[in-house]
Amino acid sequence: KQEVTQIPAALSVPEGENLVLNCSFTDSAIYNLQWFRQDPGKGLTSLLLIQSSQREQTSGRLNASLDKSSGRSTLYIAASQPGDSATYLCAVSIANDYKLSFGAGTTVTVRA
């Protein structure tokens, strides 16, 4: 069974600092890995999706890396802003299965 772990559970940084969020998974036979953002009382929004054949994906200030062999992914957010405050969830899918296994998330607070 795939287990997804996110460390740390919570993170507080001053505005402008770079954020590093970690995700680890136990079964390296993944199809893809996604990072989602969840705002309080809202649903999830997909930020980045990395296929198993890729090493990283970038979108604006966000960069996600994937190391399948070690079962790890890292989400980098450059020059953090108060608007980046949210919970970030990592999810993986196995083979071409449409089912996602989620981590518990990292709650980020960016202080102005």
Partner 1 sequence: NAGVTQTPKFRILKIGQSMTLQCAQDMNHNYMYWYRQDPGMGLKLIYYSVGAGITDKGEVPNGYNVSRSTTEDFPLRLELAAPSQTSVYFCASSYRGGLVGETQYFGPGTRLLVL
What's the min distance (Å) between Cβ of 79 and partner 1? 25
| Cβ neighbours around 43 below 10 Å, total | 7
Q: Which is nearer to partner 1, 48 or 110 (CB)?
A: 48
List residues near partner 1 by CB under 8 A: 4, 9, 31, 34, 36, 41-46, 49, 51, 89, 91, 93, 95-105
What's the min distance (Å) between Cβ of 55 and partner 1? 16
Distances, alpha carbon 59 to alpha carbons 36, 70, 99, 111, in Å: 13, 24, 24, 23
Query: Interior CA angle at 100 toward 104 and 72, to 5°?
Result: 60
Q: Which is nearer to partner 1, 95 or 112 (CB)?
A: 95
Q: Which is nearer to partner 1, 80 or 93 (CB)?
A: 93
What's the min distance (Å) between Cβ of 14 and partner 1? 25
What's the min distance (Å) between Cβ of 43 and partner 1? 4
Q: Which is nearer to partner 1, 18 or 26 (CB)?
A: 26
Alpha carbon 90 to its chain centroid, in Å, reads 4
Query: Interior CA angle at 22 toward 89 and 32, to 5°?
Result: 60
Q: Which amino acid is at 108?
A: V
